[in-house]
Amino acid sequence: MSTKSKLETLVTVFGGSGFVGRHVVRALAYRGYRIRVAVRRPELAGFLQPLGRVGQIHAVQANLRYPDSVAAALRDTDIAVNLVGILFERGRQRFDAVMTEGAETLARAAVAADAPLVHVSAVGADPNATSHYARAKAEGEQRVLAAHRDAIIMRPSIVFGPEDSFFNRFAAMSRLSPALPLPGGGHTRMQPVFAGNVGEAIARAVDGDLQAGAVYELGGPAVYTFKELMQFVLATIGRRRLLLSLPFALMKLQGSVLQFLPKPPITPDQVELLKRDNVVSDEAKRDGRTLEGIGIIPESIEAIVPTYLWRFRKTGQFRPHTAERGS
């Protein structure tokens, strides 16, 4: 994307201190890029600095709701990456403000700064979805491409890794609850993708190896039902729990109460998301706009998840496990 060498190229990563962000920063640092991490709380992003050389990674303050801060963060930037997103709404952090209007603000600022843009959305983004999250993601994509026609869009499926909020959430729940819920019977299909693979894909986009203005969908090597994933979690941590099928309507009712917790386990909007499969589309596969299509071999949940869920076993890492798909 840039004619400069990687050691001279400055990549600004918005939202770089988040779960996916640290994997993106690691992949970029490994390549030798200079990295500016633009976040709301730069004083909390110091943990990223050991991922690179001394002075290679620097955090600055920026908030997508304030265009001037975005423009300042993009000063002298060669390439921009937008990872900013939220899983639930809280206070002034609203889906539209962050993932639609904020995405457009960043895209316009990137154009003004003459910087290519890699924008991270999500599999399932759909302007006609019943989920507000999915609609906001879709409109964000549309506004980004309208403002910055050469922007590359990345749509990962459910992302897993040591800090994820999916496998860790249900493993933690199994320690206290006698049952794990199966929304709608647990038939929804998902294609979990390793955060490290997502980081590598974004780094390749920064390298200039991907097609400008294209949409890529990132999924793991296998598709699972929600029920199969819950069975995998329980087998991995060596616990027996009832898998309780619950109607979506009842889950939404529970979510309407739980959504007010500081970190809600489920919200009504997330229940809406669970009504639709979250897998890579046939169109993306046909066009080669997948991990495999760009030369990345996706890691499986069986290879990665047990390396960090061991802490949820009754005797931690001292308990052997033989988690298999569907066990």
> pLDDT tens, 119-135?
999 999 999 999 999 99
Q: How many CB atoms lie within 10 A of CB 1?
A: 20
Reduce the DSSP state of residue 28 to 3 states and report it. Answer: helix
Backbone dihedral angles phi then psi of residue 113, each to the nearest 5 degrees: -90, 0
The predicted model scores a pTM of: 0.92
What pLDDT, on a 0 to 100 scale, did the predictor assign at position 326? 43
pLDDT of residue 267: 93
Query: How many residues in the chain?
Result: 327
pLDDT at residue 16 greater than cutoff 50: yes
Is the pLDDT confidence value at 92 over 90? Answer: no
Class of 167-187+222-278+299-318 in CATH: alpha beta
In this model, does residue 327 exceed pLDDT 80?
A: no
Position 182: which residue type? L
**Site of tokens 């639609």:** 100
pLDDT digits 0-9 by tens, 53-91: 999 999 999 999 999 999 999 999 999 999 999 988 888
Residues 6 or more apart from 261 whose CB is under 8 A from it?
A: none
Q: How many Cα atoms are found within 13 Å in the side-chain-facing hemisphere of 128?
A: 0
- Nearest Cα residue to 147 out of 118, 115, 111, 120: 111
Note the pLDDT tens digit of each residue in 254-288.
Answer: 999 988 888 888 899 999 999 999 999 999 999 99
User: CB–CB of 309/316 below 8 Å?
Assistant: no
Lowest model confidence (mean pLDDT) among 186-200, 246-260, 298-312: 246-260
pLDDT digits (tens, 9 = 90+) for 204-245: 999 999 999 999 999 999 999 999 999 999 999 999 999 999
Band the pLDDT of 318: cuts 50, 70, 90: low
Task: Answer whether residue 321 shows pLDDT above 60.
Answer: no
The CATH number that domain 10-160+193-218 falls under is 3.40.50.720
The CA-based angle 19-294-11, given to 5 degrees, is 50
pLDDT digits (tens, 9 = 90+) for 99-155: 999 999 999 999 999 999 999 999 999 999 999 999 999 999 999 999 999 999 999
| Res 28: pLDDT | 98
Q: Please, which residues have CB within 8 angstroms of residue 160's CB and are 6 or more apart in sequence?
A: 166, 167, 192, 193, 194, 195, 301, 304, 305
Q: Vertex 212, ends 216 and 195: CA angle to 5°? A: 35
Task: Enumerate the CATH 3.40.50.720 domain ranges in the chain, comma separated.
Answer: 10-160+193-218
What average pLDDT does this structure show over 315-321?
63
Neighbours of 71 (CB within 10 A): 17
pLDDT computed for residue 315 by the predictor: 76
Residue 7 banded pLDDT, cuts 50, 70, 90: confident
Element (H or E) spanning 224, and its range? strand 224-225
Chain region(s) in the chain for CATH 3.90.25: 167-187+222-278+299-318
